Each structure stands twice: as C-alpha cells, then as structure tokens.
Amino acid sequence: MAVAIYTHPDCLAHDTGPGHAERPQRLSVVTDALRAAFPTRLDWREAPLASHPALLRVHAPTLLETVLETQPSQRVMLDPDTVLSPGSAQAALRAAGAAIAAVDAVLDDAPARAFCAVRPPGHHATAETAMGFCLFNSVAVAAAHALSAGVLQRVAIADFDVHHGNGSQAIFERDPRVLFASSHQMPLYPGTGDTDEHGVGNIVNAPLPALADGRQFRDAWRTRLLPALDAFAPQLLLVSAGFDAHRRDPLAQLQLEADDYAWLTRELVALAGRHGRGRVVSLLEGGYDLQALRECAVAHVGALLDA
C-alpha cells in the first residue's frame, strides 16, 4: 500500500534565523531520509495553498491578518519563540494546505494514509494566537475541513509531540465531534495538558514526567489514550507527529527510541482500521535533533506503509 507524502519547497523558506531550533534543515533531513529509505513506495505530492475559508474554520480573522498581511521585509518576532519571515506566510499556507489535501485524498481512499512533511509546525497555534514556533494550526484546520462536508461525525487527533498541543485542545474542547488524545512531558512548555482537562469529555491527556522512557510512553498509550480513541471510534484519524520525545532531542527530557514511534504508529493504524477504513493523515510537528528526526520519520512512515 502506498503512502502519500505531501510537501513543498516553500516550507523551507520559513526563515527562523540563526540558532533557532525549528530550522529548515529539519524538513530537508526528513524528506531526504524518506526518499532514501523508501525509494519506490511513496507517492510524493505537492502541497497546495490552504484557502482563507479553510483557515477561518478554526482561526480568527486577526490571526490571518497577522500571518498573511504583515509581509515583513525581515524577520519579526511574534513572541520569543515564534518568527515571521518573508517566506513564512507561504510556508504556513502550504503546511495547512498539505493537511487539507491529504484529508481529501484519504477520504477518497486514494491512498488510505498520508504524511505531511511540512513546517512550520502547528499544534500550539490557538484560534487567535501564533505561538510556540506555530503560525496556523494545520491539524486543526484538517479536522475542521474533514467535518465540514457533513459526511463524517467523528474525527480524532492523536498527538505524540513531547509538548502538549494546547492549540488543538483549545480549538476543539467544546466540539464533541473531535477527540483530542495527547501524550507529552509535564511540566514543560506550554504548561497545559493535565489529566483534569476534559473538554466536553473529548480531551484525554497523558502527561509524562521528565526522563520517562518508552515503556512508560507505551503504557500511557496502551492503558489511557488508545482505549479512549477506540471508544470514540473515529472515522478519520489525524496524527500530530512530533519526534521531540526522542532521547536525543535538545528541547525535552523524555527517552524514546525510534522503535517506540514505530510501535505507536502500528497501533494507530490498527485502530484506524477498526473504525475508519484505515484512514490516517499524519503531520510533522516538532523534533529538533536531526539524527533522531531522520530515524523517527523513517520509523513512522515505515509503519504507515507496512502496518
């Protein structure tokens, strides 16, 4: 079974500046590693631009103005972590557009699974605010797009980035059509994601302490997050695939190995097979060690291919 990979060179033009962890090389090492590991089995596709109406399903007009109309001649800091450069608007539109196109493709079962190799990441962006390296919340835009046709009633987001996806949670915490399930290190940026954050019964958080390893990570998914996803029975599964819980990552202290990501990906594909015809759309979120990113992206996409 082929897996579609949505990406675009415009995503490299989001220029965060010297020394910034969320740098263009992150994306080039992911796409280079995938081409080398799977030379014939991936279906490479060009990410289109997201439309304004698609972004406005989850974002306030003021955020579109900030990201799309500032048109900086040099880098502008939106907060201490989050940069807007001359190429950022186009990159953010490609990232969200990749997610939308991938949803449309898998809902047509052509193919059943897709990975969006994009940047900037998205899961910290709220309805109104770009933050934590994120401009638009691409996974939230994808979920809202999937529900917009009225055909699907239940879409889930599985988020295994080491940081809590506060933006995704905030956008959907009052929308019972979306289940948000997240493992993350706590305490850590952005500070949300405790077990008592339930939304309308559609938010499930599994915080992990610093130095938690793959066994604790798998336990959290096996006992808490996967059962909640199974009970919800999503017709489409979206994945916020951050690889910054790897032991090499410089921004956090979890101790995962690439094989932990392969394990969880196989579990998620099996779950999608039980409820959603195997349909999975995964998006690159964080991951800041280049060697770990290579290994983890290959493990993740390999499991999407072979599961």
By CB under 5 A, residue 242 contacts Zn ion: yes
CB atoms within 10 A of CB 165: 34
Number of helices and strands (H, E) in the chain? 10, 10
By CB under 5 A, residue 184 contacts Zn ion: no
Please report, as a single letter, which amino acid is at residue 130.
A
Beta bridge partners of 203: 180
Q: Which residues contact 131 (CB under 8 A, 6 or more apart)?
A: 78, 79, 81, 82, 124, 125, 167, 190
In this complex, which beta carbon is closest to Zn ion, that of residue 167 or of residue 242? 242
Residue 8 a catalytic site member: no
Q: How far is the CB of 94 from Zn ion (least distance, A)?
A: 20
Q: Which of 244, 249, 289, 295 binds Zn ion (CB under 5 A)?
A: 244
In this complex, which beta carbon is closest to Zn ion, that of residue 163 or of residue 300? 163
Which residue number has the CB closest to Zn ion? 286
Q: Which residues contact 89 (CB under 8 A, 6 or more apart)?
A: 67, 68, 70, 71
Q: Which of 59, 145, 154, 163 binds Zn ion (CB under 5 A)?
A: 163
- The separation between CA 211 and the C-alpha centre of its own chain, rounded to angstroms, equals 23
The CA radius of gyration of the chain, in Å to the nearest whole number, is 17
Q: Which residues contact 266 (CB under 8 A, 6 or more apart)?
A: 303, 307
The span from the CA of 5 to the CA of 193, in Å, is 30
By CB under 5 A, residue 248 contacts Zn ion: no
By CB under 5 A, residue 15 contacts Zn ion: no
Catalytic residue among 14, 123, 124, 275: 124
Interface stretch with Zn ion, choices 46-54, 153-161, 199-207, 227-235 (CB under 5 A): 153-161
Q: Which of 15, 81, 159, 161 binds Zn ion (CB under 5 A)?
A: 161
| Listed residue (46, 22, 52, 196) closest to 122, CA to CA | 22
In this complex, which beta carbon is closest to Zn ion, that of residue 178 or of residue 254? 254
Interface stretch with Zn ion, choices 75-83, 97-105, 198-206, 240-248 (CB under 5 A): 240-248
Q: How far is the CB of 61 from Zn ion (least distance, A)?
A: 27
Q: Which of 67, 286, 295, 305 binds Zn ion (CB under 5 A)?
A: 286
Which residues form the interface with Zn ion (CB under 5 A)? 161, 163, 242, 244, 286
Q: Return the active site residues.
A: 124
